[in-house]
Structure 1
Amino acid sequence: MKPINWLILFTISTMMFISCRKFLDQDPDSQATDQTTWKSEGDANSSVAACYSLLRSALNASITHYAYGDLPSDEFNSEFVSGGSNDSYKNVASMKWEGSIPPANSYVELLKLRVYSNFYTTIAQANRCLHFLEPMPATVFAGNDAAAQQAKKNQYIGEAYFVRAFAYFYMARVWGDVPLVTNYYPDVATAPQVARSPQKEILAQCIADLAQAKKYLPWKDDNNPDKIVRGDKGNAFALMAHVYAWSSNYDSCRMACDSVINSGSYSLVPASDYLSIYKGQSPEGIFEISNNQLKESLVAAQSIAGQTLAAPYISNITTPLWQLNGGVVNNLFYDTTDLRFKKSFVTIATGTSSFISCIKYSNIQYIDPSKQPQFTVAQNNIVIFRLADIKLLKAEAMAAGTNTDFGGALAIVNEIRARAGLTTPLTGITGRPLLDTITAERGRELFLEGHRFYDLVRLARNTGTVKFPFMTAGEFTAGKYYWPLDPSLFLTNSKLLQTPFWQGKLK
């Protein structure tokens, strides 16, 4: 079956049964169809909630968010990366993304990371929501008057636009060109096969979707228990800033960053409470994938915690499956008084050796104390965007845009450093060295948060400095940093072409 077709079928058949969080806990109706479910606000809410649930599945499967954004960067020592089937994670870390895997072995993590199906399932659900929400009468939505009811309806529409933009942007950073599908197909037999669209068109669609989202969405409501884990105006602007940065449109990126920073909706968490960021929904958080509730949290072994932690944080693991590159950690945190280093890293000795471990994701709970190793869950949200990220992205835009402001960019870097207890300001840095300084500060601030790989890509584009351990400057220019498509995708879509760098390398 065509990939778009079966994704739509999968979405429709599963959306009512997916649960991540209170706002996703809807009573399933086994007889629900598109002709019967779009009658009330409850129908709209459960359908939009399914978008987040599917997105959550996409970013948790195969530890996707960190496998794409951290593992192939310099944060890890690939010699000491293990786990997964067929050495999947070691191959991800060393950028050996071309390994031959039979399509029947769909459990292999490397194959799953080369397949974008989970993201298109999310997009299909967003398209479905946009198609059916628009004709719903505003009168079925809560509100004291017609304007309030229309605003509530528009909020759900805005959320669907936001999720679709997020999924497309995520895929664009991973694969570059991807198929662009914005229509809902009620009859799967009529859904067309779609070729890959140029990344420029994908990113333009993201901006168009976000223009609609920010028009319809309110700012964060601190009284809402689902703040930060659902779309609002702040995370729409934050996503827009990242889309513009990836597009090298730094002047627009700067304005989007200002919209977030000047909104007054977010504040930096004190360094003394730094690890609270990763438990989720801190004052600094802008958009997160909800994993911190017991019913939605991951079995530790299947999460980033299970890959990067060891005893005493997870009692049955003596050394992490993914070991950090101690040299890179020490170079980034050359000033060991940095409170981010003191709060987020520990050195653990095992016999005659020792290793550095990042403990950002150490919110571990033992479900059955009598069987601790077998029943551990990790209760940390995936922090996608937070205020420090957006501030430092603005600094990058000020240093790389057409209207440079080196002094202003450095002032932001010093603000973030001061929060970390580094009170001696950096001075006199301009041009390319400043971009390198900003990237290094992002490396310290956002270590193991899914940003490092993309930050190093932008640094290489802006300065020509390639800092990837398994990619030369020539390979970077040829586009090695974009992932290949798994050959299994070509079996169901004859219009697909392989990512240019990887053509002829996968069978």
Structure 2
Amino acid sequence: MKTYKYLFLLIGLSMIGCSDLEEEPVGLLSPTTYFTSIDKLQVAVNGAYGYMHNRYFLTRETGMTLMLRSDMIEISDPNTRQERIDHDEFTDLDDNGQTRVSWPIMYQIISAANQAIAGAETINADEAEVNAVVAQAYFARALAYYHLVRQFGDIPYLSEPVTNVEEGNNIEKTAAADVYTNIIADFTFAKTWLPTTQATKSIPSAGAASSYLASVYLTMGNYPMAYAEAKDVINKKNTYGYDLEPDFQNLFNSALVRDSKEPIFALDYIGDTSLGNYSTDYLVPFTGIRADDQYGSGQEGWAVLVPPLKAFTTWDENDYRRAVSFNTTGVFDGTERAYNQPPTAQELLGDSNSQGGFNAKDARNKNQPYCAKYTRFRGESGGNGRASSHAYSLMRYAEVLLIAAEAANEVTPGSQEAHDWVNEVRERARDGAAGSTPSASPADVSGLSGAAFTDMVLEERRLELAFELKRWYDIARRKLGTQAFSASGLEGAKSFSEDDYLIAIPEVEQERNPNL
């Protein structure tokens, strides 16, 4: 995404008449006059991907919602915004400020994609060449709707640009089942016309579309199709250029991840804040330890999001992924400190209530290991930590293996294929870093089938994909809420009901359109 030019002039209606996103027009472009070449089509398509890098999408508001509603992240700073606490405690209502800004950004992605798809119809060029570019827009539209439908259920489905505000403000919701049908159609078009490989993983390929199709089918509970699609990606891994990264840590090292074969589709940041909301990466500071300087000057975190302590203590210490996923130490004023370190005599003299550990430096910290996937090898930083050089893997090959395994077990319980695919992922977790001695755990999967295998593979997804915005979707699709948020869960007992599997459509959108 580093070379993308972001196009915003074409986005006439960023959302369904969303008044708080109105912009002063600097010029008017008509699709019939602008879309005169494939190059201009590509610029229009890039607009959709530009919106994906906005802070309101996955690296701040939307991403924070997905993290907090899972059982793998809780609030660290008790004085943080109430809108965040409400998602963590499932007390969010339709006036939640975090939801209010995350809803329109996904429709902005869709609006940009729809403009490109409509504009492609006017280009007089070879159909295959046009389709290879416009397929990127179909992919972007499908991805945005895939997030929307899993979060909100029945939603407005727009398949073409909105040109009449009044009509846009009266559109009715589309049933979730029909939204999924359209998502499948878009990803299928993308799979058909996208090339097998791209110059960068931030541009979708046919393999990325196929991988997302497998994920969509899994979410829908269509296990035969999820199995078939995921297995097709696995069978074509050499064609697509996919494989597991030998060292799990490299997937979260901004200097190395772009050379890895494992990422399938990524959001690519360049450590720059000059584009404001379109280049800032808030996952790093939000998950960092406040006042921690272990990764260099100016890289302190904000201590807003922290894994529950039980997520760390119940994780097999021989599993290499635990060491990669957590920070158990910090550096404060030049001194290294562990999260569970007792307070010093001097700290007790200064504050008799000092708990030691991370809390001794700043009360907003918790004495719990923090998420390290984003903070440890972030690359370039700036703007009070609001930037990184991460290329975030929104889909990677390990997830395809686990999709295939889960679906295969549903189709043929106890399938050897299913065991082999999980074992492939676990083998890397045992091997550890390059040059280290492999451990005995996590052990190969053997003898499991049916429900026992399903439980295991969902736990494997929880560990392998920890903090990568996947866990809440797994809880929702498998209806694990009452189990995950029970007294024996990672966060302890929470008030959770069936209604909490969906988020309320923002009040401001309901006021604008009574059909919502």
Structure 2 Cα separation of the partners of residues 233 and 475 of structure 1: 39
Report the Cα offset of residue 323 of structure 1.
1.8
**Does residue 213 of structure 2 align to residue 240 of structure 1?**
yes
Structure 2 Cα separation of the partners of residues 11 and 128 of structure 1: 17
The residue aligned with 2:173 is: 196
Contact preservation (8 Å) 2:214, 2:225? yes
Structure 1 Cα separation of the partners of residues 510 and 318 of structure 2: 52
Structure 2 Cα separation of the partners of residues 12 and 130 of structure 1: 23
The residue aligned with 1:414 is: 423
Matches within 5 A, 1:211-226: 211-221=188-198, 224=199
Report the Cα offset of residue 230 of structure 1.
1.5
Letter in 1 for 2:223: Y
Q: Residue by residue, what CA displacement relative to the aligned partner does 1:335-373 show, whole Å, maximum 9, x if unpaired?
A: x121112233221236413421221112345667xxxx8
The residue aligned with 1:270 is: 246
**Does residue 315 of structure 2 align to residue 342 of structure 1?**
no
Q: Percent identity?
A: 21
Structure 2 Cα separation of the partners of residues 9 and 100 of structure 1: 15
- Secondary structure of the residue aligned to 1:230 is coil
Q: Residue by residue, what CA displacement relative to the aligned partner does 1:41-66 show, whole Å, maximum 9, x if unpaired?
A: 22111100001112332753771343
The residue aligned with 1:451 is: 470
The residue aligned with 1:6 is: 17
- Secondary structure of the residue aligned to 1:427 is coil
Matches within 5 A, 1:5-154: 5-6=16-17, 30=27, 32-57=29-54, 60=57, 63-78=60-75, 80-82=76-78, 84-85=80-81, 87-98=82-93, 108-113=97-102, 116-138=103-125, 149-154=126-131
Report the Cα offset of residue 324 of structure 1.
1.2
The residue aligned with 2:332 is: none
Change (3 A) 1:74 1:376: closer
Change (3 A) 1:377 1:211: closer
**After alignment, is 442-451 or 191-200 more displaced?**
191-200
Contact preservation (8 Å) 1:63, 1:303? yes
The residue aligned with 2:390 is: 380
Q: Residue by residue, what CA displacement relative to the aligned partner does 1:476-507 show, whole Å, maximum 9, x if unpaired?
A: 5x3311101121111111111xxxxxxxxxxx
Change (3 A) 1:176 1:158: same
Q: Residue by residue, what CA displacement relative to the aligned partner does 1:194-237 show, whole Å, maximum 9, x if unpaired?
A: 1221110100111111221111111113xx1xx22112111111
Contact preservation (8 Å) 1:73, 1:453? yes
Contact preservation (8 Å) 2:268, 2:391? yes
TM-score of the superposed pair, with normalisation by structure 1: 0.79
Report the Cα offset of residue 410 of structure 1.
2.2
Change (3 A) 1:111 1:184: closer
When the two chains are superposed, the root-mean-square deviation of aligned CA atoms in Å is 3.3
- Secondary structure of the residue aligned to 1:378 is coil
Letter in 1 for 2:451: R
**Does residue 143 of structure 2 align to residue 160 of structure 1?**
no
**Does residue 295 of structure 2 align to residue 313 of structure 1?**
yes
Change (3 A) 1:343 1:3: closer
Structure 2 unaligned regions, length at least 5? 1-11, 330-337, 344-355, 358-366, 431-438
TM-score of the superposed pair, with normalisation by structure 2: 0.78
Change (3 A) 1:31 1:208: closer
Structure 1 unaligned regions, length at least 5? 15-28, 102-107, 139-148, 497-507
- Secondary structure of the residue aligned to 2:34 is coil
**Does residue 374 of structure 2 align to residue 355 of structure 1?**
no
Report the Cα offset of residue 13 of structure 1.
7.5
- Secondary structure of the residue aligned to 1:287 is strand
**After alignment, is 375-384 or 271-280 more displaced?**
271-280
Q: Residue by residue, what CA displacement relative to the aligned partner does 1:259-307 show, whole Å, maximum 9, x if unpaired?
A: 2212222011012653446664331001112224546898999611111
Change (3 A) 1:231 1:485: same
- Count of residues in correspondence between the two structures: 448
Change (3 A) 1:218 1:455: same
- Secondary structure of the residue aligned to 2:43 is helix
Contact preservation (8 Å) 1:456, 1:468? no
